[in-house]
Structure formats: structure tokens, C-alpha cells
Amino acid sequence: MEQTVQFDLVRVIHDDGSLAEGQSVDLGDEELLDLYRKMLFSRVLDEKVFRLQRQGRIGTYPPYKGQEAAQVGSATLLERSDWMFPYGRDLCATLMFGKDIVTALLYFAGHYNGGTVNKGVNIFPYGIMIPPQIPQAVGAAWASKMRGEKEIALTYFGDGATSKGDFHEGLNIAAVFKAPVVFFCQNNQWSISVPFSKQTATPTIAQKAIAYGIKGVLVDGNDILAVRKVTKEAIEHARNGNGPTLIEALTYRVQPHTTADDPTRYQDKTVVEEWKQRDPLEKYQKFLEKRGIFEKFEFEKVLAEINEQIAQAVEEFENVPKTKLEDIFDRVYTEMTDDLRKQRDEVRNFHATEGR
């Protein structure tokens, strides 16, 4: 017998920028404007990194344009001592939590230091395989609980990840042991070229939480204040010992899956354009305008500062010596094995023979 489960979409801001009925805002003007600045920074950076790839200055890149509200709205709520387990499209989220632009660019250029973070910043390397970061996040959260600590873990993933065993195993273990973890699914409707409709028979991902006995939430992923609202509640829920929450942030991938992808072969252009009209930055700007505070935002000045910050980071990144193939063998084990030593020597001899 077919059963239908209804999950209401949590929304604070309508697409026209008006406040949804029954909703309120608990942030001051400067805090609201700061969120806009963070999203603007993220948008400009994404566009810049996309161009760097097209110019051959970095490798394959997965753009996140249109998902800034989901990432900024959630990542900025973590405490310094918490843990983040990102997916490959989560450059924005990691920068909000303390990763620097330079090492992020090094990552996309294939440099061995690309996965590093500053001391005290608890961010795992981007999960490119789908989705090992989910059980890893559960393990970190469970360990925190066993030690009697208050740190929580937040892990990001896409809708395609929910079709993999790691997702179900992670949710099940987290639920059984009430691990303090927040599962944050950015449902951007596509897993490369596979649409959401072919990922699952359920109308939402959020309702999968029911099977594991945990809280599930469906939120407008293009509404930064709604994302903040549900993520804050989920973090408090986890930190207070009540277990995990599965958040589904409903959004759309308006750019290619990666710079190696051609979405025009499978996406309906009309649908893409409709979602572009619901752009998270434009929606939030309309809200700030209706609130009468956007005029305080010195757009051109801030934009110039952002461009300068990114330009300096790119210059620093491009001055870092490129990784040599023989360097990677030193970074597999603490003590190099005989097999690795032999492989490294073969590479060195090859380069010496070729005159490189």
C-alpha cells in the first residue's frame, strides 16, 4: 500500500523578499548585512575559480553558484571546536568555517597541501568519492559524545549521495547511538546527469529520517534565514544530547556538475532559467531592501574589497611551487614502504632520463 508523508517546506523569506507569515528575524542590521557580504564574496569567488579552470590555471572544478544560501546559512553557525565534513562542491562552506582561499585553490590545482587547514580548524578534506564523509562525520560525533564533549559534526552531501549505502549506514548508526551530528543534504536536483526523480521514489529526502527514528526537516535552500533557522535548531538538538537531524535544503544546480560537464545535454533550459529567477542573493537583497537597510551596504566598495582579497589569494597561490610527481610518495605513510620507495625512484629516474 502506497503511503504519502507530507513535509512542509520551512521558509522565512518569500521569493519577492517579503517575510513569510508567522516568521520573525532575530538578527540586527549589521548581522543581516554581513550575511549578504558573505554570500556576495562566495558568488564572486565561485565565478573567479570557474574562470581559472577555463584558463587552465587549476584542474576540474565543481561550481556552487545558487547554493550560497545553503552553505553560508549553515556553516556560519558552527562553533570553532565543531567539525565539518564537506563534499566536493562545498568550497563556500569550508571558507565560512575557516579554510583559506590559497589552500582551497591548491586543492583544485592538485597540490599536496590543498587539503590542509589552519591549526584548530576542524575540516576534513573535500569528499570527492560519494559519500565517505557521512560515516566519517558520524564517527567524529560519536567520539565526541563518548569523551563527554560538546562538539558536534556537520556533514554536507548532495541528493545523489542518498542512493549510496554510506548514507543509510551513517544515519542508522547515528540514530542508534544518538551521535551529535547534523546531516545536511543540498538537494540541487541533479546527481551529475541523473535527475532527482530517478534517485528515489519518495517525494523528499527529509522523510527518510523517519525510517531511522530521527528528526527530518525540509527547508528552502535558497532562503538563507530559513537555512539558519533549521540548522541552528539541529545544532542545538545535537549538542543537547538529543541526537542527529537530517536537513534537506531544496535548491537547484544552475551550473555544470563540474567544468568537465555539459548540462545542456540533459537539463531543461526553461527550468534552469526559472530557478535562476529564485537566485538566493537576489532574494535576500529584496528582503534587505524591503527592510530598508540595503542602502547601508556600500556595494561597490565591498565588491572592490572582495575582488582585491581574491586577487591577492590567487597571486599567492600561483607563487607556490607546483607539486612534483615524486613528492607524493612521501605523503602516503609515516614511513615509506619498499614498494613506494621503488616507485618513487622509478619516477626520478624517468625524469632524469627525459631531462626534466
Asked if 45 contacts 101 with a C-beta cutoff of 8 angstroms, the reply is: yes
Considering 43, 111, 257, 344, which one is annotated as catalytic? 257
**168 given a catalytic annotation:** no
Residue 326: per-residue pLDDT = 87
pLDDT tens track, the chain, 356 positions: 456 677 999 999 999 999 999 999 999 999 999 999 999 999 999 999 999 999 999 999 999 999 999 999 999 999 999 999 999 999 999 999 999 999 999 999 999 999 999 999 999 999 888 999 999 999 999 999 999 999 999 999 999 999 999 999 999 999 999 999 999 999 999 999 999 999 999 999 999 999 999 999 999 999 999 999 999 999 999 999 999 999 999 999 999 999 999 999 999 999 999 999 999 999 999 999 999 999 999 999 999 999 999 999 999 999 999 998 888 898 889 999 999 999 999 999 988 887 65
pLDDT value of residue 356: 55
CB 166 within 8 A of CB 173: no
User: pLDDT value at position 122?
Assistant: 98
What cell does 173 get?
548508526
Per-residue confidence (pLDDT) for residue 3, from 0 to 100: 62
pLDDT for the residue numbered 353:
85
Does the annotation mark 284 as catalytic? no
All structural domains of the chain with their residue ranges = 9-323, 327-356
Contacts of 182 by beta carbon, 8 Å cutoff, 6+ apart: 152, 153, 154, 155, 231, 234, 235, 238, 244, 245, 247
* Phi and psi at residue 19, to the nearest 5°: -75, 135
For residue 2, what pLDDT is reported?
58
The one catalytic residue in 54, 266, 291, 351 is 266
pTM of the model: 0.95
The active-site residue out of 43, 89, 228, 253 is 253
160: nearest Cα among 192, 132, 128: 192
Length in residues, the chain:
356
C-alpha 165: how far from its chain's center? 20
pLDDT at 237 (0 to 100): 98
pLDDT at 74: 98
Q: Quick one: pLDDT at residue 117?
A: 95
Burial class of 161 by CB neighbour count within 10 A (0 to 12, 13 to 18, 19+): buried
9-323: in CATH 3.40.50.970 = yes
